[in-house]
Amino acid sequence: MKSIDVIERKPSLEEYIQLRKSIGWKVMQYDAIQTGLDNSIYCVCVEDQGNIVGCGRIIGDGGTVFYIQDIMVKPSYQEQKIGTLIMEKIMDYIDSNCKEGTIIGLIAISELDKFYKKFGFIYNENNRFYRYR
Ligand SMILES: CC(C)(COP(=O)(O)OP(=O)(O)OC[C@H]1O[C@@H](n2cnc3c(N)ncnc32)[C@H](O)[C@@H]1OP(=O)(O)O)[C@@H](O)C(=O)NCCC(=O)NCCS
């Protein structure tokens, strides 16, 4: 039986790599990952009997920009509202810590419009994201 806990904590390097691999995302250099995790503003992990099954992070400057990153749920746990639990925690943090005018954003593929719309995120086709190299 699943015993799901939502915990405000950073994933360890190993946990983060495990989650990325499970969903088929590229794994970056380990020291870069560790620095990224350390510099996160807020992290939440979901565990099933102590084993990580999902996580999410907020990155940004903690004042003018909050950026939602790495919402990841292990495939065998997807479509069971774990992503929703992660986003609820993240939005609670943002609601308590953002100021008027703070930019709150994320980048997602269009298939996830439905998932993020529930939390108030709407794709604006006038905003274009440029990636260097
Ligand atoms: C996207 C992701 C985090 C969603 O987590 P989840 O636990 O499966 O989502 P939930 O069960 O909480 O779903 C909530 C709602 O979003 C919808 N949804 C979730 N994933 C979806 C998808 N890939 N496509 C369309 N709708 C989706 C669900 O159908 C559900 O709708 P409902 O409330 O009407 O039933 C998870 O599928 C995942 O880790 N995907 C791979 C990594 C990824 O793409 N992360 C997002 C980066 S921007």
| Domains in the chain, CATH or no CATH each | 4-107 (3.40.630.30)
What's the 88 CA to ligand 1 centre distance in angstroms?
13
Give the per-residue pLDDT at 106.
94
What does the block give as tokens for 126? Answer: 């006038």
- Does the pLDDT at position 22 exceed 90? yes
- Please count the residues of the chain: 133
Of 28, 107, 27, the residue nearest 67 (C-alpha): 107
pLDDT tens digits for range 74-130: 999 999 999 999 999 999 999 999 999 999 999 999 899 999 999 999 988 876 777
Give the per-residue pLDDT at 1.
52
Quick one: pLDDT band at residue 2, thresholds 50, 70, 90? confident
What's the 35 CA to ligand 1 centre distance in angstroms?
27
Helix H or strand E encompassing 69: strand 65-73
Look-up of token digits 């190299």: 133
Q: Distance between CA atoms of 54 and 25, rounded to whole angstroms?
A: 14
Evaluate: CB of 87 within 6 angstroms of ligand 1. Answer: no
pTM of the entire predicted model: 0.96
104 φ/ψ angles, rounded to the nearest 5 degrees: -125, 120
Evaluate: CB of 69 within 6 angstroms of ligand 1. Answer: no
In order, the DSSP letters of 75-92 are GGGTTSSHHHHHHHHHHH
pLDDT tens digits for range 26-84: 999 999 999 999 999 999 999 999 999 999 999 999 999 999 999 999 999 999 999 99
Q: Is 122 helix (H, G, I), strand (E, B) or coil?
A: coil
Question: Considering just the CA atoms, what is the radius of gyration of the chain in Å?
Answer: 15
Give the per-residue pLDDT at 4.
96
